[in-house]
Copies of this chain bind each other. A is one copy, B any other.
Amino acid sequence: MNDFNQLPAHVWPRSATRLDDGTVSIGGVALTELAQEFGTPLYVFDEDDFRARCREMADAFGGPAHVHYASKAFITKRVVQWVDEEGLCLDVASLNEAKVALAAGFPASRMTAHGNNKEPEYLQLCVDEGIAHVVLDNTDELKQLNELAKASGRVQPVMIRVKPGIDAHTHEFVATSHEDQKFGISLATGAAFDAAKEALATTNLELVGLHCHVGSSVFVAEGFELAAERVLSLYKRIHTELGVSLAELDLGGGFGIPYMPYEEALDVATLAADLLAAVDRTAEELGIPAPFVLVEPGRSLVGGSAVTLYRVGTVKDVETGKRELPIRRYLSVDGGMSDNIRPALYGSEYDARVVNRFTAGEPTDSRVVGFHCESGDILINERKLPGDIRPGDLLAFATTGAYQYMMASRYNGALRPAVVSVRDGQASLMLRRETIEDLLALET
Contact = CB atoms under 8 A, between A and B. Distances in A.
Interface residues of A, number: 85
B442 A432 contact: yes
B94 A165 contact: no
Contacts of A93: 372-373, 412
Contact of A409 (B118, B137, B409): B409
Interface in A200-250: none
A192 B197 CA distance: 73
B334 A391 contact: no
A179 interface: yes
Interface string A421-444: 000000011111010101111111
A333 B408 contact: no
B431 A442 contact: yes
Contacts of A100: 413, 436, 439-440
Interface stretch (A2-10, A59-67, A312-320): A312-320
A260 interface: no
A299 to B, nearest CB: 12
A190 B43 CA distance: 40
A125 to B, nearest CB: 12
Nearest to A116: B332
A416 B333 CA distance: 26
A410 B179 CA distance: 28
A348 interface: no
Nearest to A78: B443
A434 to B, nearest CB: 7
Nearest to A91: B373
A328 B177 CA distance: 14
A183 to B, nearest CB: 7
A395 to B, nearest CB: 13
A114 interface: yes
Contacts of A369: 116-117, 182
A334 B409 contact: no
Contact of A141 (B77, B314, B407): B314
A76 interface: yes
Contact of A186 (B77, B319, B414, B440): B319
A371 interface: yes
A151 interface: no
**Of listed A138, A316, A432, residue having the most chain B CB within 10 A:** A316
A328 B180 contact: yes
Nearest to A99: B436
Interface string A307-345: 000000110101111100000101011100000010011
A-B residue pairs, 6 tightest by C-beta: A96-B413, A177-B321, A93-B373, A117-B332, A117-B313, A180-B320
Interface of A: 72, 75-78, 93-97, 99-100, 103, 114-119, 137-138, 140-141, 165, 176-177, 179-183, 186, 188-189, 313-314, 316, 318-322, 328, 330, 332-334, 341, 344-345, 367, 369-375, 377, 391, 406-416, 428-432, 434, 436, 438-444
13 contacts: A96-B413, A96-B414, A100-B436, A117-B334, A137-B314, A141-B314, A177-B320, A180-B318, A180-B328, A182-B318, A186-B318, A188-B321, A345-B345
